[in-house]
C-alpha cells in the first residue's frame, strides 16, 4: 500500500491540508498518514488528525528536514502540506513549503489556508506550456485523473512567441490546432479532454482559469528551480490559487 503524507502544524491550516490529503489519497488509492514535526508540542495537530480520522506520526524537527526524511521511503507517493503564506506577499508560500518543494523530488500538494475541502476531486486543471518536459511531468497525472473519471481541463496560454504566426480561418484553425496540441502533449484521446486557450501571461491566467473552470486542483509540472526569473507560474499559482496546487517535478532539472 502506498502512502500520502499530510504534513501538518499546529495552526488551523491543518484542516484543509488533511482534507486535501484525503482527496489525493483517494485519487492515488493510497493511505493517508498525518505527520507532525514537533517543535513546540503536538496537541493541536493530534486533535486535527483525530478529527480527520487519521493517526498522527510525530517526529522531531527541524521541520523541512523532517518532512523530507519522512517522505523519502518509496511507498510515500505524495506529500501534502499547507502554504501558510500571505496571499500576494513577497513569499506567497510559507518558508517551510518553499523549502520542501525545492528539496523533495516527489509530487507535492500545497494547500492554501482558505481552500475548500471537497470529499473527492471532480475537476483538475493542467496547465501545459507546450514543452516536452512539462507534458512528460504531467502525463501520469492526466492518465490517473482520467482513470478516476475526473474531468481534466488543460490550459495553454499563448504568449507572443508561442502564438502560431498564421491563423487562416479561426473557426477551423483553432479546432485543428487544439486537437494537435492535445495529441502532442496528452496521453489520452483529445476528445476526452477539455482545452482552454488564452493569450497573455501564463502566471495571470492559471489562477483565473482555475476559478472560471471551478477546478478542485491545479497540477503543475516544474523544474524545482526557484531562482530569480524562473518558475513564474508556480510562484503566481502558489500565491493566488484558491485550490490546492499539485507540483510535479519534471525529469530534467
Site map (CB under 8 A) of another protein, residues 96-135, x = contact: ------------------------------------x---
Examine residue 179 and tell whether it contacts another protein (CB under 8 A): yes
From 31-39, 114-122, 178-186, 220-228, span contacting another protein (CB under 8 A): 178-186
Examine residue 192 and tell whether it contacts another protein (CB under 8 A): no
How many Cβ atoms are within 10 Å of 229's Cβ, its own excluded? 6
DSSP 225-252: --STTS-HHHHHHHHH-SS-EEEEE-S-
Angle, helices 170-185/132-147, rounded to nearest 10 degrees: 80
Among 39, 175, 192, 225, binds another protein (CB under 8 A): 175
Distance CA 95, CA 240 (A): 16
Q: Please identify, using beta-carbon distances, which residue of 120 and 132 lies nearer to another protein.
A: 132
Instruction: Count H helices and E strands in the chain, helices first.
Output: 8, 10
Among 61, 183, 201, 214, binds another protein (CB under 8 A): 183
Q: Please identify, using beta-carbon distances, which residue of 163 and 232 lies nearer to another protein.
A: 163
Residue 65, Cα to own-chain centre: how many angstroms? Answer: 21
Examine residue 75 and tell whether it contacts another protein (CB under 8 A): no
Examine residue 171 and tell whether it contacts another protein (CB under 8 A): yes
Examine residue 151 and tell whether it contacts another protein (CB under 8 A): no
Order across the sheet with 76-82: list the strands.
56-60, 31-38, 3-7, 76-82, 108-111, 245-249, 217-222, 123-127, 151-158, 194-199
Examine residue 214 and tell whether it contacts another protein (CB under 8 A): no
Residues 6+ apart with CB under 8 A from 204: 236
Count of residues of this chain found to bind another protein when the rule CB under 8 A is applied: 30
- Which residues bind to another protein, rule: CB under 8 A? 132, 158, 160, 163-177, 179-181, 183-184, 189, 191, 196-199, 209
Amino acid at each position: 500500500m502506498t502512502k500520502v503524507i499530510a504534513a501538518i502544524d499546529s495552526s488551523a491550516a491543518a484542516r484543509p491540508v488533511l482534507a486535501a490529503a484525503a482527496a489525493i489519497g483517494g485519487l492515488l488509492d493510497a493511505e493517508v498518514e498525518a505527520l507532525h514535526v514537533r517543535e513546540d508540542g503536538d496537541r493541536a495537530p493530534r486533535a486535527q488528525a483525530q478529527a480527520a480520522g487519521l493517526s498522527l506520526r510525530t517526529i522531531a524537527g527541524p521541520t523541512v528536514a523532517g518532512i523530507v526524511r519522512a517522505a523519502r521511503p518509496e511507498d510515500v507517493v505524495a506529500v501534502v502540506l499547507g502554504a501558510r503564506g500571505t496571499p500576494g506577499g513577497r513569499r506567497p508560500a510559507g518558508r517551510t513549503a518553499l523549502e520542501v518543494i525545492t528539496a523533495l523530488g516527489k509530487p507535492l500538494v500545497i494547500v492554501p489556508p482558505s481552500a475548500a475541502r471537497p470529499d473527492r476531486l471532480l475537476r483538475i486543471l493542467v496547465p501545459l506550456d507546450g514543452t516536452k518536459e512539462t507534458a512528460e511531468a504531467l502525463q501520469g497525472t492526466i492518465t490517473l485523473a482520467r482513470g478516476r473519471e475526473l474531468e481534466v481541463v488543460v490550459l495553454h496560454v499563448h504568449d507572443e512567441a508561442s502564438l502560431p504566426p498564421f491563423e487562416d480561418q479561426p473557426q477551423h484553425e483553432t479546432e485543428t490546432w487544439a486537437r494537435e496540441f492535445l495529441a502532442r502533449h496528452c496521453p489520452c484521446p483529445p476528445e476526452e479532454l477539455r482545452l482552454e486557450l488564452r493569450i497573455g501571461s501564463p502566471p495571470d491566467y492559471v489562477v483565473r482559469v482555475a476559478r472560471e473552470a471551478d477546478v478542485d486542483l491545479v497540477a503543475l509540472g516544474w523544474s524545482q528551480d526557484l531562482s530569480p526569473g524562473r518558475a513564474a507560474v508556480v510562484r503566481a499559482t502558489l500565491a493566488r490559487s484558491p485550490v490546492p496546487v499539485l507540483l510535479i517535478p519534471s525529469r530534467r532539472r
